[in-house]
Amino acid sequence: MSNIVILTGAGISAESGIETFRAETGLWAQHRVEDVATPEGFLRDPKLVVDFYNERRAQAAGATPNTAHEALARLEAAHRGDVLVVTQNVDDLHERGGTKNLIHMHGALNSALCGACDHRWPAPMQMAAGDTCPACSAPMARPDIVWFGEMPYQMDRIFTALGNADIFAAIGTSGNVYPAAGFVAEAARAGAHTLEINLEPSAVGSQFNEALLGPATQTVTTWVDEILSAG
């Protein structure tokens, strides 16, 4: 029985119509990272940041999971070992595609966080700068998103899973953002077989044992079918 840890990035949701970050016309070509994805940017101009995530929340709500999300859910349901999906994505396409054992390491669009007391609640479709926290009433609601310089979520659980992994696969991530880009090295140290699934080799592509290049809707389905047919 093998344990499988899967890291996903924006590329797995691209064929559902959700923009990636580092493509030529991606989100970082349209917005300055420092303005919309740092705590300092939020302090400077909360409305700009809240509006950026309101737009992304609406885009995600209008998207549907694709065959790659669904294939990972099928793998989780049918594989006899543990399957953990760690996503850097803030959309909810994995859960809507059926995945249950899931970590949103960079947060989630459908969650709001209080900057004063850390209380979390379901985000309304449109947040507003200065929204109050339902628990402590501080006017410090923010999108529950991990920005640059902040600690990604559930790192202890992720590193434990990487240490016990037999197979590690990274799907649709450019390998530019840490600590996620370091997971392949961590899994390899633990003796896992490592596989990259992407349109092209990522920034850390040379660290993987194997690559499967092509659109996620095709490659992920093929890979899952192979694992399930091998038993």
Residues marked active site are found at 106
Query: In this chain, which of 6, 7, 11, 72 binds ligand BJW, going by CB under 6 A?
Result: 11
Q: Which is nearer to ligand BJW, 3 or 16 (CB)?
A: 16
Contact pattern from residue 78 through residue 107 relative to ligand BJW, giving x for each residue in contact according to CB under 6 A and a dash for the rest = ----------x-x---------------x-
User: Rounded to the nearest 5°, which phi and psi values hold at 33?
Assistant: -50, -45
Query: In this chain, which of 34, 40, 118, 200 binds ligand BJW, going by CB under 6 A?
Result: 200
Q: Which stretch binds ligand BJW (CB under 6 A): 42-50, 119-127, 173-181, 204-212?
A: 173-181
Cβ at position 68, least distance to ligand BJW in Å: 7
Cα torsion 16, 17, 22, 26 to 10°: value is: 180
CA angle, residues 176, 85, 229, in degrees to nearest 5: 115
**Interface of this chain with ligand BJW, residues 29 to 48, rule: CB under 6 A:** 37
Cβ at position 25, least distance to ligand BJW in Å: 11
Distance CA 89, CA 86 (A): 9
60, 109 contact by CB (below 8 A) = yes
162, 168 contact by CB (below 8 A) = yes
Write out the DSSP string of 45-100: -HHHHHHHHHHHHHHHHT----HHHHHHHHHHHH-SS-EEEEE---SSHHHHHT--
Cβ at position 109, least distance to ligand BJW in Å: 8
For residue 169, state whether it binds ligand BJW (rule: CB under 6 A): no
The residues binding ligand BJW (CB under 6 A) are: 9-11, 14-15, 20-22, 26, 37, 88, 90, 106, 145-152, 155, 172-174, 176-179, 198-200, 202, 215-216
